[in-house]
Chain A
Amino acid sequence: MTFFYVFGKYLLFMKDAFSKPEKFRIFRERLMQEMYSIGVGSLGIVAIISLFIGAVTTVQTAYQLVSGLVSRTIIGTIVSESTILELAPTITSLVLAGKIGSSIAGEIGTMRVTEQIDALEIMGINSANFLVLPKVVASMIMIPMLIIISIFLGISGGLLAGKFSGILPIEEFMKGARSSFQGYTVFFACTKAVTFAYIITSVSAFQGYFTHGGALEVGQSSTKAVVYSAVLILFADYVLAQLML
C-alpha cells in the first residue's frame, strides 16, 4: 500500500511540476542557470571518471586476452563498445546521481524546512513547477551531452592507456574500435542518458520537496534521493537493454 501511495504522490507532484510556467522569461533564466550548474558543474568529475574507466578497461581487457590467437584490435572493440553501451551512460549517471541528486534534494529540502517553498505558494506560485521543471529539463539536455563527452574521454583514456603501457598502438586500437562501431549504440546511450537524467532529477526533487523537520531530515532526504535514484537507474538500465538491444 505504501508503494502505491508514494507512487501516486510522485505522479501528482510531476503533474504539478510539468504544468505551464508562470512566466516563460523567468523559466528560461532558471533553465540557463540550471544547465550551467548541472552541465558545467559536473564536467570535471565526469572527465576524471571517464578517462580512468577507459584506461582501466583497456588494461583489464588486455590482461584477460592472453591468447596469441586473438587479435589485439579486439581490445579497441571491447573498450569502445562497452564504454558506449554501458560504462559511460550508466557509471556516469550513477556518479551524477550522487552529485546532482544530493544537491537537488538538499537544496529543495532546505527550502521546505525554512518555509521558502511556503513563501512561493503564498505568492500564488506553483512551487513544484517553479523549482523542479527547470532542473528536470536542464538535466535532460545536459546529461546526454555529458555522456557524449564521457564516451569520447572514456575511449580516449583507453587508447592512451593502451599506447603508454605498451599494450597496443593507437592505430590498432582505433582499427578495433571502428570495425564494430554502429551509430545505433550511441543513440541507445543517449536514450539511456535522457531516461537516467529524468530519474535523477525527478526522484531527488520529490525527496527534497516532501522533507519534513529540520537539518537531520534534509540529510536523510539527500541520502534517499541518491539511493533511490541509483536503484532506479540500474532497473531502467536493464529494462532499456531488454527493449532496445
Chain B
Amino acid sequence: MIEVKNVSKAFGEKKVLEDVSATFLKGKTNFIIGASGSGKSVMMKCMVGLEEVDSGSILYEGRDFTHMGYEERKDIRKEIGMLFQGTALFDSLTVQENVEFPLKMFSSMSSAERLDRVNTCLQRVNLQNVNQLYPSSLSGGMKKRVGIARAISLNPSYLFCDEPNSGLDPLTSRVIDELIKEITEEYNITTIINTHDMKSVFDMGENIVFIWKGKKWWDGHRKQIRTSGNEELYDFMKAYDIEYV
C-alpha cells in the first residue's frame, strides 16, 4: 500500500499539487485520472522520487519515502517497476539486454539464470523471438510489452504505469490493459496507472483518484463514479465518453 499524505508541490509561483492525500491499495489496479495539466503526472513523479515534494509525505508500507536519503531510497526503488509513457527502453541495448538490465545491476544471478528470467518475463507479456531485436525495430505495442517485462523482471512490489495506452490503437490498448491487470493480480502488486483513457478506468479501476486543478476531488471504485455526485468528475467523464455517466 502507498499512502500520499498532504502532498504539495509548486514550480516557482505555480502550484501544481495542493495538499493532496490518497491511498493506493495493494493487489489492486489504482488509477490517477485527470485532465492534461491537472497535476497527475507530477504526482506520479513525486511518488517515484523523480520530483521532490514541497511538503507532505509519501509512505510505502509505512516507510516515509519523502524524508529518506538517497541510499535509503535505493532499497524502495528496487521494489518499484515503471512503465513510461514513451517506454524509455535503452535504445543501444537489445530487447533481451533491456529486460536483463535490472537483473544485471541488482541481482546475483548467473548469466544462465538471468536469461531464463528474461525469457520468462518476455513470455509473460506474450513476446517471443524478439530477444535480439533493438527497440527501434519494434511496434508501439511491442515496446510497451518490453517495458512491462523490464518493469517486472525484479519482481517489484509496486508497478507505476504512466499513460500506458498513449499512442496505441484501441485494440492494442485493451491488450496492454489486460496484461497490466493480470500481472497486478498474479504478483499481488500495488499498481498505479496514470491515464485519461476512460475505457481503461471503467474496465479496471478498483481504486480511482481524480485530480483536478492540483487537488484531489474524488476517490473511489469505478462502480461509485455514477453516484459520486461530483460535478467536476461528471464534466471530465462527459468530455471523454458520455455513455458512462
Q: Which residues from chain A sit less than 8 Å from chain B, CB to CB? A: 22-23, 26, 114-116, 118-119, 121-125
Q: Which of A22, A26, A119, A124 contacts B88 (CB 8 A)?
A: A119
Known contacts A23-B105, A26-B105, A118-B50, A123 near B88 by CB under 8 Å: no
B residues touching A (Cβ–Cβ < 8 Å)?
Answer: 48-50, 73-75, 77-78, 80, 82, 84-86, 88-91, 101-102, 104-106, 160
The CA-CA distance from A123 to B98 in the complex, in Å, is 13
A-B contact number at CB 8 A: 46
Task: Considering the complex, give the chain B residue whose CB is closest to the CB of A117.
Answer: B88
Checking A116, A122, A125 against B48 with a beta-carbon cut-off of 8 angstroms, the contacting residue is: A122
List of A residues within 8 angstroms of B77 by Cβ: 121-124
Which residues of A lie under 8 Å from residue B80 when comparing CB positions? Answer: 122
* A residues less than 8 Å from B89 (CB atoms): 116
Q: Are A122 and B90 in contact (CB under 8 A)?
A: no
In the bound complex, residues from chain A placing their C-beta under 8 Å from that of B102 are 123
29 example contacts (A-B, Cβ-Cβ < 8 A) are as follows A22-B105, A26-B104, A114-B86, A114-B88, A115-B84, A115-B85, A115-B86, A116-B89, A116-B90, A116-B91, A118-B50, A118-B88, A119-B82, A119-B84, A121-B77, A122-B48, A122-B49, A122-B50, A122-B80, A122-B82, A122-B160, A123-B77, A123-B78, A123-B101, A123-B102, A123-B105, A124-B73, A124-B78, A125-B105
Cβ distance B148 to chain A, nearest Cβ, rounded Å: 13
Interface of B is mostly: mixed
Q: Nearest CB to that of A130 among chain B residues?
A: B105
Residue of A nearest to B101 (CB): A123
Known: A123-B78, A124-B78. A116 touches B88 (CB 8 A): yes
Q: Please give me the residue from chain A that is nearest to B76 by CB atom.
A: A124
With a CB–CB cut-off of 8 A, which chain A residues contact B91? 114, 116
A124 (CB) vs chain B CBs: closest residue: B77
> Would A115 and B88 be within 8 Å (CB), given that A123-B105, A125-B105 are in contact?
yes
A124 & B74 in contact (Cβ 8 Å cutoff): yes
